[in-house]
Structure 1
């Protein structure tokens, strides 16, 4: 979400009666949805990470506007599109509860992050936390939009290098990518490098302002062109059952993973969208050299332009392998041609 900086709107939000905000601290005004939060709402509760968002105190509410989510098309097949959020949207632990030493083996199926993403009840995670009323899918999507998100069979394989058990397979609307979906031969058609140990612009991620306010830790290394980049969770297990794999700020896949209780790794959801629905719009293209041809979120157009919903997307290449440093472009055919 975007931070509210308009002084008049800020005053309006600040003066809303306390009881008009819902349990998620959301409210709708004139067709727009907003969320408020304090520094104490930020997610990191463990470790000594650094807040890079400017929180001047513990008690002042900051306000954020819900915006349409931009998704990257990893694969289009008939009436189905495999999508990854273009940026990190939020900041959450993989598992939201402290467990005594020798406790549970945390997998994707038993994690709290899966339950939060999909709005599952306490029976779906080992922390026994209920997310039916406070979830990503419930906040980010309308009921019509949720209906267009397909139930996906999620295959949870073991850690590729260490063999840590991935747990039982699941069926979810919202999920994280696995190791093999973002590096290796199977990841090449998605636009990623085969090597997980090389920096890959396709895996690199910025974040929403809201994610930073929630505690997402981004790094700045101008000398190696890492500015405002940070890490994001994968669903695959790490080197042990208490760890989960992730993509780091360099856009490398860290298969050893981090503790599932670590609080500074971003949420970058994936899903499969039913393209026969009409709830999405074309958001432009991004080439491997970083150039963009972007359309305003939600299909908003400039004066004199016509908004035409996209019904199909196809790529000129479904597999492309480059040497490090090479650049190339893959043309996307959009129907109808607009």
Structure 2
């Protein structure tokens, strides 16, 4: 199917999605833009992707917005959840998901250019940011309502009360933002909300 190529924008379920990868008859897609703001979880304390509220929401309420025909094309996949490579905070159990967020490793090594050398040669200076001079930062930038905004990854931050994210400039916040109540006065102008953006990802069966 000629319309399915890496980098192509495809409509599905009322959203525009960018194809990040193709394996056999399935394409990994992520929403081209941030589609909403959400907290990573709805309670205080330690949390991982396996037991966070955002995973429950994406695989429940959000997934159920798709029609039965659309749901039949979304593959259930094994999601690998790695520990934070700078701080050692736990990634938690691997999960099976229809809808998920990308990980640090995926946005660094695979789908937005290859910055794996920075990951393989970690520096003591990387306390907060992955790399301000990373040539691939611009590829990770995203907007919501026309405003550049930050968006969640599923990986843990410096502890399990934080999750990693992509800053508005495309740099990766390896120390993470608070998963429950993010303490920041910086808000999205269109919503007055400081919560992180959500860019869902899924594996789509390309056989109609």
User: TM-score scaled to structure 1, two decimals?
Assistant: 0.48
Greater relative CO, 1 or 2 (CA 8 Å, sep 6+): 2
SS of residue matched to 1:250: coil
**Of 142, 156, 160, which residue of structure 2 is paired with 1:237?**
156
Deviation of 1:193 after TM superposition, in Å, equals: 4.5
SS of residue matched to 1:144: helix
Partner of 2:3: none
Partner of 1:112: 53
Deviation of 1:191 after TM superposition, in Å, equals: 3.2
CA distance in 2, matches of 1:146, 1:234: 23
Deviation of 1:165 after TM superposition, in Å, equals: 0.5
Residue 197 (structure 2) pairs with residue 266 (structure 1):
yes
Aligned residues: CA RMSD: 1.6
SS of residue matched to 1:95: coil
**Of 19, 22, 27, which residue of structure 2 is paired with 1:73?**
19
Partner of 2:97: 172
SS of residue matched to 2:106: helix
Partner of 2:31: 85
**Of 173, 176, 185, which residue of structure 2 is paired with 1:257?**
176
Residue 141 (structure 2) pairs with residue 200 (structure 1):
no
CA distance in 1, matches of 2:41, 2:158: 16
**Of 150, 166, 182, which residue of structure 1 is paired with 2:75?**
150
Deviation of 1:143 after TM superposition, in Å, equals: 1.4
Partner of 1:44: none
Q: Which runs of 5+ in 2 are unaligned?
A: 1-12, 119-129, 183-193
Whichever of the two has the greater Rg, that structure is: 1
CA-to-partner distance for each residue in 1:59-118, whole Å, 9 max, x for gaps?
Answer: xxxxxxxx8211111111220101111000111000113x3xxx4x20000100000000
Checking the alignment, whether the CA contact within 8 Å between 1:230 and 1:249 is kept in structure 2 is yes
CA distance in 2, matches of 1:142, 1:90: 20
Q: Which runs of 5+ in 1 are unaligned?
A: 1-66, 120-134, 210-226, 279-338
Checking the alignment, whether the CA contact within 8 Å between 1:235 and 1:244 is kept in structure 2 is yes
Partner of 1:17: none
CA distance in 2, matches of 1:193, 1:71: 21
CA-to-partner distance for each residue in 1:16-35, whole Å, 9 max, x for gaps?
Answer: xxxxxxxxxxxxxxxxxxxx
User: TM-score scaled to structure 2, two decimals?
Assistant: 0.76
CA distance in 2, matches of 1:182, 1:192: 8
